[in-house]
Amino acid sequence: MPKERPLWRGPAFRLCLLSAALFLCLQLGMRRSWCTEEKPRPAAAAAGRASPPARGTEQHPVAAAAAGRRRVTYVRSGRRGSAGPGCCPLQPPGGRRRKTVRWHIELQPWASPTPSLDNEALRFLKYISTSQISCEHMNLNSLRGYSETAKKPWSVCLDERFGLIHRIRSKQCRLYSLGLGNDDNQFETSMANSGCEVHRFDPSIKSAHIQEGRHLWYHRLSIDWRDPNPAIAAHKLHSNTKKLGTILNEFGHQKIDVLKADVESAEWKILENLILEDVVEQIGQLVFEVHVHWPGFEVSGNDSTVVRYWYSLLRELELKDFRLFHTYKHLSKPQMFLKKEAFNASSCYTLSWVNTRWK
């Protein structure tokens, strides 16, 4: 008679034992997950009861981090030198909100169905030779310290309907002057003697910051259409080159009543940067010397494309409510237009605009 097999060796018993072990493991795992989910709930509820967030003040962590990065990127610490005593206090982080930056200007349609230099040049020259708004008081004769020995006609509009004359009277005006080793500073001196706060940016001066009188400062800085990248070795040579928007932020200046520029063919790219970054909206009047004997720094394309680009830049100013009120053709300069003696054009013009929305 065969020997009877014990019950615990049977396959049914083993299957039941395995099922029980799996069920026990599942129970333990579920209890552990419940505990981890329930533990933070009372703390969160208590925090909510203690200090409920005000409506509209919540900020996503990613947005907060991005806002912090924007502040750090745009506002300099000033550790390498201040802007001079009493001159330009640094703006605290998070002061001015940066707007969305455009990457290119909107080009105007061609002057004719078939692009040609003749049509583009005639349209451009007519545009810069025609005042868009009248200004009855443009000279500085009434201002204290003005001298008739000024070498160039830098004209600003002093009509009562615009804000500049009122800010001069209240000693609250501010002038930025961009230049490259130009000895003609009579305009800046006259504005400073009238009580305006004047900052002249010239990379050729010896000291980083020089104060001359109560209201006139010289800065060894060059205004460009881009900031240097400190991670690139070649850019370290241009550490004193910055965008105007960066300078405004570092100096803590929200507005400029007058921006004067004589930067020897860098004006087109600088003006483009001011438009694309909306810095131009912080300026009351523009007085620019523009050069047309060659395309300018980093302006490329054939002649008709270059002139179309110039014209489009000036039309962008008009779209931002700037109006041309004075134009001066320099007859003493070579009469050249894109390296040609053509169109009865001078190689240099001084143009003045007023921001009609300026308060």
Determine the residue type at 297.
F
Q: Residues with Cβ < 8 Å from 179, sequence gap 6 or more?
A: 200, 201, 202, 261, 262, 263
Rounded to an integer, what distance in angstroms lies between the CA atom of residue 149 and that of residue 64?
55
pLDDT digits (tens, 9 = 90+) for 210-224: 999 899 999 999 899
Residues of the chain under the 50 pLDDT cut: 34-85, 93-94, 97, 149
Placement of tokens 């030198």 in the chain: 81
Among candidates 157, 148, 197, which has minimal Cα distance to 177? 197
User: Contact at 8 Å (CB) between 241 and 221?
Assistant: yes
286 phi and psi angles, rounded to 5 deg: -115, 135
Instruction: At 166, list the tokens.
Output: 């009122």
Query: How does pLDDT run across 3-23, given as a tens digit for each residue?
Result: 555 555 567 767 777 777 777
| Region for 144 from its dihedrals, namely left if φ exceeds 0, alpha if ψ lies in -120 to 50, beta otherwise | beta
What is the rounded distance in angstroms from the CA atom of residue 168 to the CA atom of residue 164?
6
What is the model's pLDDT at position 239? Answer: 64
CATH number for 117-143+151-355: choose from 1.10.1060, 3.40.50, 1.25.40, 1.10.20: 3.40.50
User: What pLDDT was estimated at residue 113?
Assistant: 97
Q: What is the pLDDT of residue 206?
A: 85
pLDDT at 226: 85
What is the amino acid identity at position 65? Answer: A
Which of these, 270, 239, 186, 199, lies nearest to 80 by C-alpha position? 239
Q: Residue 32 carries which DSSP code? A: H
How far from 227 is each of 67, 200, 273, CA to CA, in Å?
A: 20, 19, 11
Residue type, 283: I
34/128 Cα distance (integer angstroms): 76
- Check residue 19 and give its pLDDT: 76
Domain boundaries, the chain: 117-143+151-355
Distance CA 258, CA 250 (A): 18
Residue 328 forms beta bridges with which residues? 350
